[in-house]
Protein backbone atom coordinates (compact mmCIF):
# COMPACT_ATOMS: atom_id res chain seq x y z
CA UNK A 1 0.00 0.00 0.00
CA UNK A 2 1.18 3.52 -0.82
CA UNK A 3 2.49 5.29 2.28
CA UNK A 4 1.14 8.81 2.80
CA UNK A 5 2.48 12.03 4.26
CA UNK A 6 -0.04 11.68 7.12
CA UNK A 7 1.69 8.43 8.12
CA UNK A 8 5.13 10.07 8.06
CA UNK A 9 3.88 12.85 10.34
CA UNK A 10 2.33 10.30 12.71
CA UNK A 11 5.77 8.77 13.11
CA UNK A 12 7.95 11.88 13.22
CA UNK A 13 5.50 14.35 14.76
CA UNK A 14 3.89 17.55 13.51
CA UNK A 15 6.32 19.98 15.10
CA UNK A 16 7.58 22.72 12.75
CA UNK A 17 10.58 24.89 13.57
CA UNK A 18 10.22 28.36 12.16
CA UNK A 19 11.59 31.90 12.19
CA UNK A 20 10.15 35.31 11.26
CA UNK A 21 11.10 37.39 8.20
CA UNK A 22 12.76 40.07 10.37
CA UNK A 23 14.95 37.61 12.27
CA UNK A 24 18.62 37.58 11.35
CA UNK A 25 20.10 34.80 9.24
CA UNK A 26 22.42 34.06 12.18
CA UNK A 27 19.39 33.47 14.42
CA UNK A 28 17.89 31.14 11.82
CA UNK A 29 21.19 29.20 11.55
CA UNK A 30 21.22 28.85 15.34
CA UNK A 31 17.67 27.43 15.22
CA UNK A 32 18.74 24.94 12.54
CA UNK A 33 21.83 23.92 14.53
CA UNK A 34 19.87 23.58 17.81
CA UNK A 35 17.36 21.20 16.23
CA UNK A 36 19.81 19.55 13.83
CA UNK A 37 17.74 20.41 10.74
CA UNK A 38 18.56 21.76 7.28
CA UNK A 39 15.69 24.23 6.84
CA UNK A 40 13.34 26.48 8.76
CA UNK A 41 9.99 27.77 7.63
CA UNK A 42 9.48 31.52 7.64
CA UNK A 43 6.17 32.49 9.18
CA UNK A 44 4.73 35.99 8.97
CA UNK A 45 1.76 36.48 11.32
CA UNK A 46 1.38 32.70 11.31
CA UNK A 47 1.20 32.54 7.48
CA UNK A 48 3.81 30.73 5.39
CA UNK A 49 6.00 33.47 3.87
CA UNK A 50 8.97 31.38 2.77
CA UNK A 51 11.57 28.78 3.60
CA UNK A 52 15.22 29.21 4.48
CA UNK A 53 17.54 26.32 3.73
CA UNK A 54 21.23 25.58 4.07
CA UNK A 55 21.41 26.07 0.30
CA UNK A 56 19.98 29.61 0.59
CA UNK A 57 22.67 30.37 3.14
CA UNK A 58 25.50 28.87 1.08
CA UNK A 59 24.53 30.62 -2.15
CA UNK A 60 23.06 33.91 -1.00
CA UNK A 61 25.08 34.78 2.11
CA UNK A 62 28.41 32.97 1.90
CA UNK A 63 28.97 33.44 -1.84
CA UNK A 64 27.73 37.05 -1.80
CA UNK A 65 29.90 37.77 1.27
CA UNK A 66 26.94 39.14 3.28
CA UNK A 67 27.00 39.24 7.06
CA UNK A 68 24.69 36.69 8.66
CA UNK A 69 24.26 38.77 11.82
CA UNK A 70 22.98 41.80 9.88
CA UNK A 71 21.09 40.17 7.02
CA UNK A 72 17.39 39.57 7.65
CA UNK A 73 15.88 36.22 6.74
CA UNK A 74 13.46 38.00 4.36
CA UNK A 75 16.41 39.05 2.14
CA UNK A 76 17.54 35.53 1.31
CA UNK A 77 14.56 33.23 1.95
CA UNK A 78 12.98 31.29 -0.90
CA UNK A 79 9.47 32.64 -1.35
CA UNK A 80 8.11 30.09 -3.80
CA UNK A 81 7.31 27.27 -1.39
CA UNK A 82 6.10 23.92 -2.70
CA UNK A 83 3.75 22.21 -0.26
CA UNK A 84 1.94 18.86 0.02
CA UNK A 85 -1.21 17.76 1.81
CA UNK A 86 -1.36 14.92 4.37
CA UNK A 87 -3.06 12.78 1.69
CA UNK A 88 -0.09 12.99 -0.71
CA UNK A 89 1.79 9.73 -1.27
CA UNK A 90 5.54 9.33 -0.76
CA UNK A 91 5.83 8.90 -4.54
CA UNK A 92 4.09 12.30 -5.01
CA UNK A 93 6.61 13.88 -2.61
CA UNK A 94 9.57 12.24 -4.34
CA UNK A 95 8.31 13.47 -7.72
CA UNK A 96 7.80 17.04 -6.48
CA UNK A 97 11.20 17.10 -4.75
CA UNK A 98 12.90 15.82 -7.89
CA UNK A 99 11.05 18.14 -10.30
CA UNK A 100 11.49 21.25 -8.17
CA UNK A 101 14.91 20.33 -6.73
CA UNK A 102 13.81 20.88 -3.15
CA UNK A 103 14.48 18.78 -0.07
CA UNK A 104 11.76 20.03 2.29
CA UNK A 105 8.01 20.20 1.78
CA UNK A 106 5.75 21.94 4.30
CA UNK A 107 2.52 20.03 4.84
CA UNK A 108 -0.67 22.08 4.57
CA UNK A 109 -4.11 20.59 5.17
CA UNK A 110 -7.24 21.19 3.10
CA UNK A 111 -8.12 24.19 5.28
CA UNK A 112 -4.75 25.79 4.54
CA UNK A 113 -3.33 25.07 8.00
CA UNK A 114 0.34 24.22 8.38
CA UNK A 115 0.41 20.76 9.95
CA UNK A 116 4.02 19.63 9.54
CA UNK A 117 7.05 19.33 7.28
CA UNK A 118 8.65 16.39 5.47
CA UNK A 119 12.26 16.22 4.29
CA UNK A 120 13.91 14.09 1.64
CA UNK A 121 15.24 11.81 4.40
CA UNK A 122 11.69 11.21 5.69
CA UNK A 123 10.48 10.41 2.19
CA UNK A 124 13.36 8.05 1.37
CA UNK A 125 12.86 6.25 4.70
CA UNK A 126 9.12 5.83 3.97
CA UNK A 127 9.86 4.68 0.42
CA UNK A 128 12.30 2.02 1.69
CA UNK A 129 9.72 0.79 4.23
CA UNK A 130 7.11 0.63 1.46
CA UNK A 131 9.41 -1.44 -0.78
CA UNK A 132 10.23 -3.75 2.16
CA UNK A 133 6.47 -4.29 2.78
CA UNK A 134 5.91 -5.02 -0.89
CA UNK A 135 8.74 -7.58 -1.01
CA UNK A 136 7.40 -9.30 2.14
CA UNK A 137 3.89 -9.45 0.59
CA UNK A 138 5.27 -10.92 -2.66
CA UNK A 139 7.35 -13.50 -0.76
CA UNK A 140 4.27 -14.53 1.23
CA UNK A 141 2.29 -14.77 -2.02
CA UNK A 142 4.97 -16.91 -3.72
CA UNK A 143 5.57 -19.22 -0.78
CA UNK A 144 1.88 -19.42 0.07
N1 LIG B 1 16.33 7.96 10.57
C2 LIG B 1 15.39 8.82 10.24
O3 LIG B 1 14.22 8.69 10.62
C4 LIG B 1 15.73 10.00 9.38
C5 LIG B 1 14.71 10.87 8.94
C6 LIG B 1 15.06 11.99 8.16
C7 LIG B 1 16.40 12.20 7.84
N8 LIG B 1 17.36 11.35 8.28
C9 LIG B 1 18.78 11.57 7.91
O10 LIG B 1 19.19 12.84 8.37
C11 LIG B 1 20.06 13.46 7.40
C12 LIG B 1 19.55 14.81 6.96
O13 LIG B 1 18.17 14.71 6.64
P14 LIG B 1 17.45 15.50 5.50
O15 LIG B 1 18.37 15.82 4.39
O16 LIG B 1 16.19 14.75 5.19
O17 LIG B 1 17.03 16.92 6.12
P18 LIG B 1 16.96 17.56 7.56
O19 LIG B 1 18.26 17.42 8.29
O20 LIG B 1 16.48 18.95 7.36
O21 LIG B 1 15.79 16.73 8.30
C22 LIG B 1 16.02 15.86 9.40
C23 LIG B 1 14.70 15.67 10.12
O24 LIG B 1 14.27 16.93 10.67
C25 LIG B 1 12.97 17.25 10.19
N26 LIG B 1 12.91 18.71 9.93
C27 LIG B 1 13.64 19.40 9.02
N28 LIG B 1 13.32 20.71 9.07
C29 LIG B 1 12.38 20.83 10.02
C30 LIG B 1 11.65 21.95 10.53
N31 LIG B 1 11.85 23.21 10.08
N32 LIG B 1 10.71 21.73 11.49
C33 LIG B 1 10.52 20.47 11.97
N34 LIG B 1 11.17 19.37 11.53
C35 LIG B 1 12.10 19.56 10.56
C36 LIG B 1 12.78 16.47 8.91
O37 LIG B 1 11.39 16.28 8.64
C38 LIG B 1 13.55 15.19 9.23
O39 LIG B 1 12.74 14.32 9.98
C40 LIG B 1 20.16 12.48 6.26
O41 LIG B 1 21.33 11.75 6.42
C42 LIG B 1 18.95 11.59 6.42
O43 LIG B 1 19.14 10.30 5.89
C44 LIG B 1 17.05 10.25 9.04
* Residue 15 Cα: closest atom of ligand 1: 33
Q: Which of 30, 83, 93, 121 to mutate to test the pocket of ligand 1 (most atoms within 8 A of CB)?
A: 121
Q: Which of 42, 103, 119 to mutate to test the pocket of ligand 1 (most atoms within 8 A of CB)?
A: 119
Distance between CA atoms of 86 and 110, rounded to whole angstroms?
9
Strands (E), the chain: 18-19, 39-44, 47-53, 104-108, 114-119
Any atom of ligand 1 within 6 Å of the Cβ of 123: no
Distance between CA atoms of 40 and 29, rounded to whole angstroms?
9
Residues of the chain with pLDDT under 70: none
Which pTM was predicted?
Answer: 0.95
Task: Specify the residue with its C-alpha closest to ligand 1, atom 7.
Answer: 121
Q: How far apart are the first and last CA of the chain?
A: 20
For 17-33, the pLDDT digits (tens) are 999 999 999 999 999 99
Distance between CA atoms of 137 and 141, rounded to whole angstroms?
6
For 103-118, the pLDDT digits (tens) are 999 999 999 999 999 9
Note the pLDDT of residue 62: 81
Amino acid sequence: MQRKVAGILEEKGAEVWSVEPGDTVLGALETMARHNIGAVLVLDDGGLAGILTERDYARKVKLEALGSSETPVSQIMTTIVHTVTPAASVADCMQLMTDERVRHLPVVDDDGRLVGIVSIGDVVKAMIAQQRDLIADLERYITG
